[in-house]
Chain A
Amino acid sequence: MSRLGKITRRTLLVGAVAVAGGAAFGVYQVRRPVENPLRPEEGATLNPYVIIDQAGIRIIAPRAEMGQGVHTTLAALVAEELDAEWESVRVLHGPPAAAYFNGALAHGALPVADYAMRDWQRNLTEGIGAATKLLGLQVTGGSTSTVDAFERMRLAGAGAREALKTVASGRLGVDVERLRTEAGRVIAPDGTEIDYRELAEEAATRPVPRVELRPASEWKLLGRSLPRSDMRAKATGSAQFSTDIVLEGMKFATVRICPHHGGGMASFDPAPALEVPGVEQVLDLGNGVAVIARNTWAAMHGAEAVEIDWTPSPLPATTEAMYDQIAQAFDARRNSRMRNDGRPEDQTAQIEVEYRVPFLAHSTMEPMGATAWLKDGHLTLWVGNQAPREHEKVAAEAAGVAREHVTLHTVFLGGGFGRRVETDVTRQAARIAAMLPGTPIRLTWSREEDMRHDFYRPAAIARMRGAVENGRATLFDAKIAAPSVTQQAIGRLTGRSMGGPDKGHVEGAFDQPYAIPHYRVAGHLADLDVPIGFWRAVGNSFNGFFHESFIDELAHAAEADPLQFRLDHIAPESPVAAGVLEAVRDLSGWGERLRAGTGRGVAMTWSFGTPTAVVIDLEREDGQIRTARAYMACDPGLVLDHAIVRAQMESGLIYGLSAALMGEITFTDGRADQGNFPDYDALRMHNTPQIEVAILQNNPHMGGVGEPGTPPAMPALANALFDLTGERVRSLPLQNHAEFLV
């Protein structure tokens, strides 16, 4: 964490203001956006995280809680230093604010493999030009939240604690050094206790002293599996998502937008919709309609009833033609060559193969939705989102009000996976609210609208050349073609074009810790305008499959054990990565004889700072193939909450296995053929494997946990299928090639 340490220690100016009956530590900065938080002379502070008033202690965890447990872990960082009582702390999403920028995102933008990054590179990450386009983004993504918050939020808690102690010292006439704090109180040597609530208002008027962070050996909350702050609400149905806000006089809306991507609406006839009981209005949104009704069901029925002439999509008419267009990128100049070891061009390939993977939907459990209300010129929104400032900006534009007249409440996200960075539903809700001023609008998309208007994980093709000699890989030469998520999604987010070598396009392929003498990875960007965006592990999700499937092919060609083959090549490059392979070997009993009808595969990927290895066991059962068991080992370095890390590993694995087994979006005339779960399913209770997870802490740098479980799941599954059947499958989903239990 040294890179964050240097920056925060240089710039941290903890502050506080009085609020009714208490203090908000640093909150004044929320109202003073700071363009570049690295310039202390502008008064940057990174501490708008604690509010103490008569109601108690509230901690702002300014990252989207979408299931990954981030509210719990981020709040624990503050509570640890603040000596707050965990059970009594309330956790909030907080407002959109520049102060909540995600500094760790920029780290991922460096054109260097994480495992090979030098300390000076880690320290300078946020000062390097390549990263500046990401600065100031309050984005939840890239498995960065805990890494980013680790030092700042502990400092926030410590700063608040010391301010409270200073006030108590004055009141009690006791030196501050002799006071201690516990469970939300300052305690004097004679046992006198003062509740933080009684000190907070005065603490707001004092400068906050310099603070030092406690060593890990003194932690009481961090390092434990804490009760999640959101668990009770989610077990009782009281957790509020985007469409759970109840407002007086509310109307219910849905939309039907041109499903042929890039097409529009020539004309529409609202009459059939207006005959549907409960439908009140049909609004023209330009490229589709919104239907307003007394309830969502009437709105959805009404939307289906509107007669609409769509204009055609400019996209290739078939999925096969889209793949052809992606493959054309191989003929054009490469965009990147971020790995180029040895002289691959002089080597003779023994294996030359092509891989391909399909477009994928996010398919969050909660379809897109938002609640919006334009009242007396002020727009209030409730929307679960991964980028509050961008959503706020888009909402202001869509409603035609100034940004200061927008209040955006981030509520719980019913799954994110990158989808809720996108602002499309917020734009629609704000626009509809502006067309119906004074009326609160609850906008809910149908599942079909959600699946057909996604920003998909792109389809991709890889052309691989390889060779082995004496049991070792001598050549690994990959070319990867796909449309660029970086250019599309970051372009949409920042309004700037992202030129130059696209790291996201080749991450998971160029940056893996293998020692191979002739090792090259080239990225080719395809010119195809299917809407694409961030998806769980994005580039790593397809490159991990390409890379680790091909490593398996090389191991087979070398007549080597696939796990030992990996270890032989990884150990010289990264003891940390070798450690997770050894752990998964031991956990799975790799090498033991398996019973007949069983296949076993392994894969290891390094993504988002965390090497993760997976072993999958497949079993034949009644003519079908069951994904019976999964073993995982990861090394995210310092672990703050084991239960959450474990849950994220399982979650990432299941997300990856679901995609590898059955995920596929195809297009006809630019319209997604799949519309609902019967066409685009995922693993369920009965076909999810038993999972064992080993969590190591040998990595010297803290890595992410939300995404690293996804990339290795896919190749491990495909490699297990090869072990079972002897046939190498080079395209996904696997259910197109073998009969799985689904």
Chain B
Amino acid sequence: MSISLTVNGTSYKSDAPPETPLLWVLRDELGLTGTKYGCGVASCGACTVHVGGEAVRSCQVPLDTVWGDVTTIEGMSENGVLTPLQKAWVHHQVAQCGFCQSGQIMQAADLLAVNSDPSDDDIDAAMAGNLCRCGTYSAIRAAIHDAARAMNGGGAG
């Protein structure tokens, strides 16, 4: 039995076992390796993607329960044009090792989608589930504020 899913606007069929978490379908079955495995227990956020426009931990979403279109980090920029959030990430030179950054960006995009002008407390609340062992938090915070300004019509940084 194969299961259909739409990822970054492309339709796929997967015959992976239905309980396979979305994370591993993306990485191993579809070859979309931008989404990362960090813990497998929803405590680090490295595997964050959007399902139906909402940030989820893809390590906790079985393939047969995927309830909407999936967007991964590869689907954020279109034709190589970065989103304002990714531009802010580059402007603030956020990434260090980079391994958690796909998840950080997907989580931050979700925050900005529901809150166009997040306060520091809002950022704390939304981003606390995303671990970064390099400690890039101050740059992440600055990039989110900057992206919010850019998306509200102001210039980035």
Contact = CB atoms under 8 A, between A and B. Distances in A.
A691 B140 CA distance: 13
A243 B94 CA distance: 22
Contact of B33 (A243, A651, A653, A676): A243
Contacts of B13: none
Interface in B87-103: 89-90, 93-102
Interface string A363-400: 11111000000000000000000000000000000000
Contacts of A233: 98
A300 B40 contact: yes
Interface string B123-143: 111011111111111111100
Interface residues of B, number: 61
A278 interface: yes
B98 A239 contact: yes
A703 interface: no
Given A241-B99, A686-B128, A297 B36 contact: no
Given A278-B20, A366-B99, A235 B123 contact: no
B29 A651 contact: no
B43 interface: yes
Interface stretch (A161-169, A601-609, A677-685): A677-685
A688 B41 CA distance: 22
A655 B25 CA distance: 32
Contacts of A416: 97
Contacts of B23: 297
Interface in A289-312: 294-298, 300
Contact of A236 (B16, B34, B123, B131): B34
A535 to B, nearest CB: 12
B49 to A, nearest CB: 10
A237 B135 contact: no
Given A244-B33, A365-B44, A688 B138 contact: yes
A654 interface: yes
Contacts of B128: 684-686
Nearest to B72: A237
Nearest to A643: B93
Interface in A225-250: 225, 227-228, 230-241, 243-244, 246
B16 A235 contact: no
A230 B101 CA distance: 12
B133 A363 contact: yes
Interface string A206-242: 0000000000000000000101101111111111110
Contacts of B24: 295-298
B55 interface: no
Contacts of B105: 235
Nearest to A232: B90
Interface string A279-294: 0000000000000001
A295 B138 contact: no
Contacts of B44: 365, 677
Given A236-B34, A236-B77, A295-B20, A647 B99 contact: no
Contacts of B140: 685
B99 A415 contact: yes
Interface in B44-100: 44, 46, 72-74, 76-77, 82, 86, 89-90, 93-100
B93 A227 contact: yes
Given A278-B16, A365-B44, A236 B133 contact: no
A277 interface: yes
Interface stretch (A42-50, A63-71, A146-154, A259-267): A63-71
A635 interface: no
A80 interface: no
Given A366-B38, A413-B97, A682 B133 contact: yes
B37 A414 contact: no
B20 A230 contact: no
Contacts of B98: 67, 230, 233-234, 239, 412, 414
A235 B132 CA distance: 14
A233 B82 CA distance: 11
Main secondary structure of the interface of B (DSSP, over half): loop
A713 to B, nearest CB: 10
B39 to A, nearest CB: 5
A655 B132 CA distance: 10
Contact of B94 (A69, A235, A241): A235
Main secondary structure of the interface of A (DSSP, over half): loop
Interface string A629-654: 00000000000000100010011011
Contact of B133 (A227, A412, A446, A655): A655
Contacts of A297: 20-21, 23-24, 28
Nearest to B126: A685
A647 B38 CA distance: 22
A653 B136 CA distance: 11
Contacts of A442: 28
A422 to B, nearest CB: 17
A444 interface: yes
Contacts of A237: 33-35, 72-74, 76, 102
B157 interface: no
Nearest to A252: B28
Contacts of B95: 67, 228, 230-231, 234-235
Query: Which of B21, B23, B82, B96: most chain A Cβ within 10 A?
Result: B96
Given A365-B131, A685-B123, A688-B138, A228 B93 contact: yes
B155 interface: no
Contacts of A239: 98
Given A244-B33, A246-B31, A365-B38, A685 B97 contact: no
Contact of B97 (A225, A414, A447, A690): A414
A690 B36 CA distance: 28
Contacts of B135: 650-651, 653-655, 658, 683, 688
A653 B131 CA distance: 16
A690 B41 CA distance: 29
A677 B136 contact: no
A235 B90 contact: yes
B76 A444 contact: no
Contact of B134 (A67, A236, A298, A677): A67
A37 B24 CA distance: 46
B96 A69 contact: yes
A236 B74 contact: yes
Nearest to A246: B31
Contact of B86 (A235, A677, A682): A235
A677 B47 CA distance: 14
B17 A686 contact: no
B35 to A, nearest CB: 7
B89 A647 contact: no
Contacts of A69: 96
B157 to A, nearest CB: 13
Given A67-B98, A415-B97, A691-B138, A685 B20 contact: no
28 contacts: A69-B96, A227-B93, A230-B95, A231-B93, A232-B82, A235-B82, A236-B76, A236-B86, A237-B34, A237-B35, A237-B74, A241-B36, A246-B31, A294-B29, A297-B20, A298-B20, A300-B40, A365-B36, A365-B132, A417-B133, A650-B138, A654-B137, A658-B135, A676-B39, A684-B131, A685-B137, A685-B140, A688-B137
Given A677-B43, A685-B127, 19 more contacts: A68-B96, A230-B98, A231-B90, A235-B82, A236-B74, A236-B76, A237-B35, A237-B74, A300-B40, A365-B133, A416-B97, A444-B37, A447-B38, A447-B39, A647-B139, A651-B134, A651-B135, A677-B38, A685-B140
Interface of A: 66-69, 225, 227-228, 230-241, 243-244, 246, 252, 277-278, 294-298, 300, 363-367, 412-417, 442, 444, 446-447, 643, 647, 650-651, 653-655, 658, 676-678, 681-686, 688, 690-691
Interface of B: 16-17, 20-21, 23-25, 27-29, 31, 33-41, 43-44, 46, 72-74, 76-77, 82, 86, 89-90, 93-102, 105, 123-125, 127-141
Q: Which 7 A-B pairs have the closest CB atoms?
A: A237-B34, A654-B135, A414-B99, A67-B97, A67-B96, A234-B98, A237-B73
